[in-house]
Structure 1
């Protein structure tokens, strides 16, 4: 598999091109909570998959990521869109750089998994630290929404084995509600499908894409959400 840390640092434009082939998630978020005029934190914002769709609607948004190179893409996108209600900052999920009870909504897309995977040392403690930080920065009645993979190349959920413990903790220890959706990639050509899939997911899946002519590559995503009651 590709080194995703290197991807997020050195292949930012290609990564942004790849996720642009997936559906807009604004409606999914709004089905969970209204977003107009909220103060939002986007954890693991990447190249702005969630930040850029939320910024025009919310009061403020703090976009955090471990990769400064990824955040620079958000700066370019929102600068061009003349948005001024956002800040980008390099940060670790286990130490969110903002005050207590400063956000109405926290979103985290495909990023906590890098700390919560069972093949990462101290993964359970990592998740505990992340959840503690999220609850610290959320205001009373605020909401956290987490997106993670439930399998790429599958039409129904087939989560990676190394993420099952993390997902179980979200639901059974922390009390998150859960559902899944399809987030299929809609590529323009089979050549593009091959190039982008091979770049991010590796040769095995890319070979399947080419063999089966998968211009539409199925993917499932899990959504976990929780409202802070106190």
Structure 2
């Protein structure tokens, strides 16, 4: 399996090519919380998957990520689009450099899972710290929305075993509701599908892409939402 930490540090441009093959999530987010005029914090913002599509309607966007290289792409995208209502900060998600009650909406896409994985022996403590920080920066009636994987290369939800306890904790311990959606990758051609799948998901899935000619690679995603008073 590819080393995602190294990818985020050194191969952000290729990662951006991959995630650009998915539809944006504005409609899904808006069903939970209309974003017009909100102060929004994007945790684990990466190359701007969420920040770049939320900025148009938001009052402000703060994009945080552990990787400066990833945030450099977010900056380029937001500047190119002409937005001025944003800033980026390199940050650990467990200790946010933000003021108390400074955001109406906190979003996190495919980022908290690295702390919530059972491969991390401190996952329970780390998730507690992240949720505590999210709640700290939220204003009254603020909303948290978390997106995570529910299986790549599958047409029905199949969450990774090492994330199941984290997903259960979001619901049972922190009061989140959840729903699964399809967020397939639609590639330009099979060579691109193989290249980008092998780059991020590894050889087994890439071999399946070639074998089954999967120019459209199915992806199941899970989003969890919670409003805090």
TM range (shorter): over 0.9
Q: Return the alpha-carbon distance in structure 2 between the equivalents of residues 53 and 82 of structure 1.
A: 12
Who is 2:90 aligned against?
A: 90
Report the equivalent of 1:54.
54
SS of structure 2 residue aligned to 1:154: coil
- The Cα of 1:212 is off from its aligned counterpart by 0.4
How much has 1:79 moved relative to structure 2?
1.0
Q: For residue 141 of structure 2, what is the aligned residue in structure 1?
A: 141
Does residue 76 of the first structure (1) align with residue 100 of the second (2)? no
Matched residue, 2:216? 216
Q: Which runs of 5+ in 2 are unaligned?
A: none
Aligned mates of 1:84, 1:55 — CA distance in 2? 9
Q: Secondary structure at the match of 2:208?
A: helix
| RMSD value, Cα | 0.5
Runs (4+) of structure 1 exceeding 3 A deviation are none
2:114 aligned residue: 114
In 2, Cα distance between the equivalents of 1:214 and 1:133? 40
Deviation at 1:9, TM superposition (A): 1.1
Quote the offset at 1:121 in angstroms.
2.0
In 1: Cα distance, 2:18 partner to 2:74 partner:
15
* Number of equivalences: 229
Q: TM-score w.r.t. structure 1 length?
A: 0.99
Cα distance between partner residues in 1 of 2:59 and 2:145: 18
Task: Tell me by how many angstroms 1:80 deviates.
Answer: 1.3
